[in-house]
Copies of this chain bind each other. A is one copy, B any other.
Amino acid sequence: MAVESKSDDAPSQPGLTRQALVQAALRVLEREGVNGLSMRKVAAELGVKAASLYWHVRNKEELLDLLTDELMADAEAPPREGGWREQLREYCVRYRRHLLGKRDAAKVVAGRLVPGPHLLRLMEDQLGRLREAGFSDADAAMVNYALGAFVQGFVLQEQGPLSASEAMGAGRREVATAAGEQLRRLPQETFPHLVALADALTGPSMEDRFSFALERLLDGLSTLLEQGSDVRKEGTPDE
């Protein structure tokens, strides 16, 4: 029963830690992108063989879960200044910038709902502000989810290559104007709107598109708050 007979003086904790794995994964991600992020490379980054990782982590999925939370480690909540609208806007703008700042972050995070400790910290803060703003508990929870999904979904489009196969080789602007050309060349009779709106469709930057959608969403939340959150009923739209 004397299981702990190892009387080494130095703690000499196992060379590998879950934390170390995640940090290594983070470096590999930054250096090689999500497609280059392999268990073998993470192991190599730690001077160890791939099989070793499986002692600390069930599989790659679990490592990606941990990595997802680590990506949120240095995300910051906005200052508590201005109304709820400014604060929520800043939340989304910062979250977007944060994801854009880490290579392929959206692709790692997307569709991964596991809330790690770092994300919980941010949720706690945002939920507090939503309740203070007057949102009901149910609405606050919904808004919190909606904003997260919104930003993640948006950045995912933004971070993926614009035109897939021809991502490298041409700048974003060039690809966009080329797409505009293509739309304008469509047959007028069957695609009148696409032809007419070619510029409007391909002109705006990702930043523009994000702001647009964000302001619409915030307007929608304004409406919700004005109505009082329990007056609303399904099936009674405005027409």
Contacts and interface: CB of A to CB of B under 8 A. Distances in A.
B149 A153 contact: yes
B219 A113 contact: no
Contact of A157 (B149, B163, B215): B149
Interface in A194-231: 194, 196-197, 200-201, 204, 208-209, 211-213, 215-224
A193 interface: yes
A167 to B, nearest CB: 9
A62 B194 CA distance: 24
A22 interface: no
Interface stretch (A2-10, A38-46, A134-142): A134-142
A234 to B, nearest CB: 8
Nearest to A218: B220
Interface string A147-159: 0011011101101
B164 A120 contact: no
- Of the listed residues A82, A211, A217, A224, the one surrounded by the most CB atoms of chain B closer than 10 A to its CB is A217
Contacts of A131: 193
A196 B193 CA distance: 49
This protein's copies in its complex: 2
A192 B131 CA distance: 12
Contacts of A106: 111
A59 interface: yes
Contact of A201 (B110, B144, B157): B144
A239 B86 contact: yes
A216 B220 contact: yes
A238 interface: yes
Contacts of A114: 163-164
Contact of A62 (B164, B186, B193): B164
B112 A160 contact: yes
Interface stretch (A11-19, A71-79, A92-100, A121-129): A121-129
Given A111-B157, A123-B193, A149-B154, 18 more contacts: A65-B165, A83-B238, A83-B239, A89-B237, A111-B160, A112-B160, A114-B164, A123-B194, A142-B209, A145-B201, A149-B209, A150-B150, A150-B213, A153-B153, A153-B157, A211-B234, A217-B217, A219-B219
Task: List the 8 shortest-distance A-B pairs measured between CB atoms, nearest first.
Answer: A153-B153, A111-B160, A216-B220, A83-B239, A141-B200, A220-B220, A219-B220, A127-B193
